[in-house]
Amino acid sequence: MASITGWKIFYDDESVYSSRMGSWRDAPGDGVIRVLLYEDKTDGQGRPTRSIHHGQDLYFSDGNQLFGSNNDTLQDNLGRYPRLTSEDFKRGRWTSGEISERIRRVVIDDYERP
């Protein structure tokens, strides 16, 4: 299983917050469009393998190796992940198709680890 080496959160105002800038808990908590996770493995072109989370109501992390997203309620998630607090969850938001597509293109081409 791959280990996460860094992450970036992309917001509806087209700003980005990454693991280089601070902790997961310190990231803004609302307006998430996509979360990009970088892994410790590489693809056939020598680029880091990545996973992308999008289209969810909640995005969460323990700040270490637990990352996820789903459409369950915050209360359900807090019960499921007792080590997490409400600060560990970021809320997704719908945005225009134009903004969503711009962010999607940026994420697809982003192989620069934070």
**In the chain, where the domains are located:** 4-109
Enumerate residues 6+ apart whose C-beta is below 8 A from 6: 18, 19, 20, 37, 38, 113, 114
Confidence check: pLDDT of 63 > 80: yes
Dump pLDDT digits (tens) for 27-54. Answer: 999 999 999 999 999 999 999 999 999 9
Structure tokens at 55: 């289209």
Given this model, what pLDDT does residue 2 score? Answer: 82
Query: What's the rounded mean pLDDT across residues 12-32?
Result: 97
Give helix then strand counts, H and E, for the chain.
2, 7
Average pLDDT for 91-110: 97
Instruction: Determine the pLDDT at residue 81.
Output: 95
**In the predicted model, what is the mean pLDDT of residues 59-78?**
95
> At 77, is the secondary structure helix, strand, or coil?
helix
pLDDT grade for 89, boundaries at 50, 70 and 90: very high
User: What pLDDT score does 22 carry?
Assistant: 97
DSSP state of 103: H
pTM over 0.85: yes
Average pLDDT estimate for 71-90: 96
> What pLDDT was estimated at residue 23?
96
Token representation of residue 10 = 């992309």
Beta strands 89-92; 30-42: pairing state:
parallel
Residue 1 has pLDDT above 80, yes or no: no
